A and B are shown apart, each in its own frame.
Chain A
């Protein structure tokens, strides 16, 4: 069935270091891969996304890479700051009647000052 695996479940880095979160998906029909950040007590918020026809996308300190062949995609955060601390979710979407988004289990990122 459809599945998105996300690793690690918890990640602790020192301020200024880089953080990498990796995801794999099972459904080859998936063609849109958003990343969401969820701060404590709030709903998830989109931070970056990538479509299946693109291999890499960057937005300031955040970048996402996609390997369609291997069904892997990753989030890279450089020069981490304490305010980057949150739970990050990867997701994979495909068109199916409506469009269905399958979320990974989340990665809790701690950035130590």
Chain B
């Protein structure tokens, strides 16, 4: 019954490693997002995909590469992890890309880089 799911929930890794976070939504939505929430709870959009196509790419280091194999999935791969990447990453989805569409958030993935 989970609408937006993410795996893993927790991820602890060493600096320099490469890791992936997976996201799936079963709501039939066309649009998916990745957000980063830092230790001060500040929530910032990173990427947005609509029907597998990238439509928003904020100023994010190219070590971060989203991939959308189909419109129900949006995965986030991070290369050469740095200490500053430690945060909670939220996946979200919405029915379409127009304002006024509620975004449904996943439970988050807490990434800790040591």
Contact = CB atoms under 8 A, between A and B. Distances in A.
Given A98-B50, A106-B43, A46 B97 contact: no
Given A43-B4, A44-B105, A98 B90 contact: no
Interface range for A: 20 to 34
A101 interface: yes
B78 to A, nearest CB: 19
Interface residues of B, number: 26
Given A43-B106, A45-B105, A94 B43 contact: no
Given A43-B92, A98-B48, A103 B43 contact: yes
Interface string A35-48: 01010011111100
B61 interface: no
21 contacts: A36-B105, A41-B108, A42-B107, A43-B106, A43-B107, A43-B108, A44-B105, A51-B100, A87-B41, A89-B43, A97-B56, A98-B31, A98-B55, A98-B56, A99-B97, A99-B98, A101-B103, A103-B42, A103-B43, A106-B41, A106-B42
Interface of B: 4, 31, 40-45, 48, 50, 55-56, 90, 92, 97-108
Interface of A: 31-32, 34, 36, 38, 41-46, 49, 51, 87, 89, 93-103, 105-106, 108
